[in-house]
C-alpha cells in the first residue's frame, strides 16, 4: 500500500492525468502530501499539496506573483484568451489588481448582498416549482446552474433575455485554464472571449449612456472608476482603459458562475453519499448555524475551484525545497482542504466541523471577492431544496465536468 502511494506520487503529472483522477482525485492528493508535497512536474512547474506549504504562498504576493504574462504568453500565443487572462484582476498584481478589486468590493458589501436575498428566494422557489412539475430532473441544468447565472446577471445588469449564452461562454473561457490546453479548448475559449467582448461593448455603451446606481451597480462602478486624491488634494478620475474594463466584466461574469454552480451541485451530490449528514440537515430546517457550517464543509469537502497558480519573483524556499525565480507553482486547494494535519478525518463530510479554516476561496489579497455572495446563494438554494424535496435521490449516471481545476458535474439526474 505504502509503496503504491509512493509510486502514485512519483508518477504524478498534471499534464497526463488518468481518467479515474477526475472521478476521485483525493487518493492521489494524499499520496502526494505524504510522499512528494513539493512535487516537480516533468514540465518544470511545481505542485503543492500540504496546507501548511500553500498558506504562506497565498500570504506573500510579492514573492509569489499572480501575474500570468510569462506563463500564458507561450500557452495561448497572441490571442483573445491571452489578452483576457492577463488583464483580469485575478491574474494581476497590484496596482491594477488593487484598483479593480476596490471597485468590485464596494458593490459586494454585506449590506448589498443581503439586499439580494429576497430576489434570490423568489428565483429558487420558481426553480423548485418547475422541478416539482417535472419529477425527474437534472440537478445541474434545472437548478444549480440556473441560480448563479441570474445573480451574476443582476450584478452586472445584463438584461434577462440576453443571459442565455453566459454559461457556455464561461465554461469555454475557464476551460482554457485547464492544465492541458487542447486545440478544441483553445478554439472555443478564443471564440467565447471574442463573443463576450462584442456583447459587452454594447452593454457598456448603453450603461455609459444610462448609468446605474454607482453604489450597487458593479458595471457603473467599473465604468466610472475611482476618484484619486493626489498630494495636493486635487481629485482626479482613475479610469480603467476600455480593454481593462471589458475584461474585468468577462472575468466577473465567469468567476461567479461555474464555481457557484459546482458548489450547489457538489453539495447536493455529497448529501446523497452521506445520508446521516443529510438527515441532520433536514431535521433542523431553521438552524442557521448548522446551515452556515454545512456550506463551509461543502466548500472544503469538494472545493469547486481545486487549483490556484503563482509564479516566484525571486529565489524562495517552500516546504524545505529551494525554488528559483520564475518557478511556476500550482497550489492544490483540493489537497490542502483534505490535509489531515489541518482537518481531522478529512475524507469525512462533517457538517458541524469546527474549526474549518478551508481555503476554497483562496487566501490573501486575491481571496475570492464574491465569497459571501456564493455563500448566500448556496445557503438559500440548499435549504429550500431540502425543505421541498427531502427524499430526493440520484436517478441515473452523473456526468462529471472532467476538469482538474473546476470540480463539478455537468449533469446530475435525480428524482425529486
Residue numbers of the site for ligand HEM (CB under 6 A)?
A: 66, 89-90, 97, 101, 104, 152, 155, 252, 255-256, 259-260, 263, 304-305, 308, 360-362, 366, 368-370, 373-374
- Whole-number Å distance between alpha carbons of 34 and 49: 9
191 vs 410, which CB is nearer to ligand HEM? 410
| Distance from C-alpha of 210 to C-alpha of 144, rounded to nearest angstrom | 32
CB of 19 to ligand HEM, least distance (A): 24
Q: Look at phi and psi of residue 46 and say left if phi exceeds 0, alpha if psi is from -120 to 50, else beta.
A: beta
> Which residue, 278 or 375, has its beta carbon nearer to ligand HEM?
375
C-beta of 336: minimal distance to ligand HEM in Å?
A: 11
Closer CB to ligand HEM, residue 219 or residue 255?
255
Residue nearer to ligand HEM on the CB measure, 282 or 362: 362
Buried b / exposed e over 316-326, threshold 16 CB at 10 Å, is bebbeeebeee
Residue 224 backbone dihedrals phi, psi, to 5 degrees: -75, -25
Report in angstroms how near the CB of residue 391 gets to ligand HEM at its nearest. 26
Strands 328-332, 46-48: pairing is parallel
* Residues facing residue 332 across a β-bridge: 307
Cα–Cα distance for residue pair 196/279, rounded to 1 Å: 43
Question: How far apart are CB 22 and ligand HEM at their closest, in Å?
Answer: 18
- Smaller CB separation from ligand HEM, 190 or 248: 248
User: Which value, in Å, is the radius of gyration of the alpha carbons in the chain?
Assistant: 21
CB 237, CB 224: distance < 8 Å? yes
Q: Which is nearer to ligand HEM, 191 or 224 (CB)?
A: 224
Pick 259 or 342: Cβ nearer ligand HEM: 259
Cell 506573483 belongs to which residue? 65
Shortest distance, position 373 Cβ to ligand HEM, whole Å: 5
Considering the complex, state which of residue 9 and residue 152 has its C-beta at the smaller distance from ligand HEM: 152
In the bound complex, what is the minimum distance in angstroms from residue 64's beta carbon to ligand HEM? 10
Q: By three-state DSSP, how is residue 236 classified?
A: strand
Min CB(168)–ligand HEM separation in Å: 18
Nearest approach, Cβ of residue 101 and ligand HEM (Å): 4
Tell me the DSSP string of 282-320: HH-TT-HHHHHHHHHHHHHHT-SB-EEEEEESS-EEETT
The cell for 285 is 430546517
**Is the separation of the CB atoms in 374 and 263 below 8 Å?**
yes
- Give the residue at shortest CB distance from ligand HEM: 370
- Cα distance between residue 260 and residue 149, in whole Å: 9
Quote the least distance from Cβ 353 to ligand HEM, whole Å.
17
CA pair distance 321, 329, nearest whole angstrom: 12
CB of 273 vs ligand HEM, minimal distance in Å: 19
Q: Which helix (H) or strand (E) is 88 found in, with range?
A: none
Instruction: Quote the CA–CA distance of 312 and 314 in Å, as a whole number.
Output: 6
Residue closer to ligand HEM, measured from CB, 207 or 366:
366
Which residue's CB is nearer to ligand HEM, number 5 or number 92? 92
Q: Which is nearer to ligand HEM, 146 or 259 (CB)?
A: 259
The Cα–Cα gap between 269 and 287 comes to: 21
CB of 282 to ligand HEM, least distance (A): 22
Asked whether the bond before 184 is cis by omega within 30 degrees of 0, the reply is no
Q: What is residue 393's three-state secondary structure? A: strand
Q: Is the Cβ–Cβ distance between 293 and 267 less than 8 Å?
A: no
Amino acid at each position: 500500500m505504502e509503496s503504491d502511494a509512493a509510486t502514485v506520487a512519483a508518477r504524478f503529472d498534471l499534464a497526463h492525468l488518468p481518467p479515474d483522477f477526475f472521478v476521485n482525485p483525493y487518493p492521489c492528493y494524499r499520496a502526494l502530501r505524504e510522499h512528494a508535497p513539493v512535487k516537480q512536474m516533468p514540465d518544470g512547474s511545481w505542485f503543492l499539496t500540504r496546507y501548511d506549504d500553500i498558506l504562506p504562498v497565498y500570504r506573500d504576493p510579492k514573492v509569489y506573483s499572480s501575474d500570468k504574462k510569462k506563463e500564458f504568453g507561450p500557452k495561448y500565443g497572441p490571442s483573445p484568451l491571452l489578452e483576457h487572462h492577463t488583464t483580469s484582476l485575478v491574474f494581476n498584481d497590484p496596482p491594477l489588481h488593487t484598483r479593480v478589486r476596490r471597485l468590485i468590493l464596494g458593490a459586494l458589501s454585506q449590506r448589498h448582498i443581503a439586499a439580494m436575498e429576497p430576489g434570490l428566494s423568489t428565483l429558487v422557489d420558481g426553480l423548485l416549482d418547475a422541478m416539482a412539475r417535472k419529477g425527474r430532473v437534472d440537478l445541474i441544468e434545472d437548478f444549480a446552474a440556473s441560480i448563479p447565472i441570474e445573480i451574476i446577471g443582476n450584478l452586472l445588469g445584463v438584461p434577462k433575455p440576453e443571459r442565455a449564452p453566459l454559461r457556455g461562454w464561461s465554461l469555454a473561457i475557464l476551460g482554457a485554464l485547464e492544465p492541458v490546453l487542447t486545440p478544441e479548448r483553445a478554439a472555443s475559449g478564443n471564440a467565447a472571449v471574442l463573443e463576450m467582448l462584442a456583447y459587452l461593448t454594447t452593454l457598456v455603451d448603453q450603461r455609459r449612456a444610462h448609468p446605474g446606481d454607482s453604489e450597487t451597480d458593479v458595471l457603473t462602478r467599473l465604468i466610472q472608476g475611482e476618484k484619486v486624491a493626489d498630494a495636493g488634494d486635487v481629485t482626479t478620475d482613475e479610469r480603467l482603459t476600455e480593454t481593462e474594463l471589458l475584461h474585468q466584466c468577462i472575468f466577473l461574469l465567469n468567476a461567479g458562475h461555474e464555481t457557484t454552480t459546482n458548489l450547489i451541485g457538489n453539495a447536493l451530490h455529497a448529501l446523497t453519499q452521506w445520508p446521516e449528514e443529510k438527515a441532520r440537515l433536514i431535521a433542523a430546517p431553521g438552524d442557521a448555524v448548522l446551515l452556515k457550517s454545512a456550506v463551509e464543509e461543502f466548500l472544503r469537502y469538494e472545493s469547486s475551484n481545486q487549483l490556484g497558480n503563482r509564479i516566484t519573483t525571486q529565489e524562495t524556499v517552500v516546504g524545505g525545497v529551494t525554488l528559483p525565480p520564475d518557478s511556476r507553482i500550482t497550489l492544490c486547494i483540493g489537497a490542502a482542504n483534505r490535509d489531515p494535519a489541518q482537518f481531522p478525518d478529512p475524507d469525512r463530510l462533517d457538517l458541524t466541523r469546527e474549526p474549518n479554516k478551508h481555503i476554497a476561496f483562496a487566501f490573501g489579497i486575491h481571496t475570492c471577492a464574491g465569497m459571501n455572495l456564493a455563500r448566500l446563494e448556496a445557503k438559500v438554494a440548499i435549504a429550500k431544496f431540502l425543505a421541498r424535496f427531502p427524499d430526493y435521490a440520484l436517478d441515473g449516471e452523473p456526468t462529471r465536468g472532467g476538469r482538474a481545476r473546476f470540480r463539478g458535474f455537468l449533469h446530475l439526474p435525480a428524482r425529486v
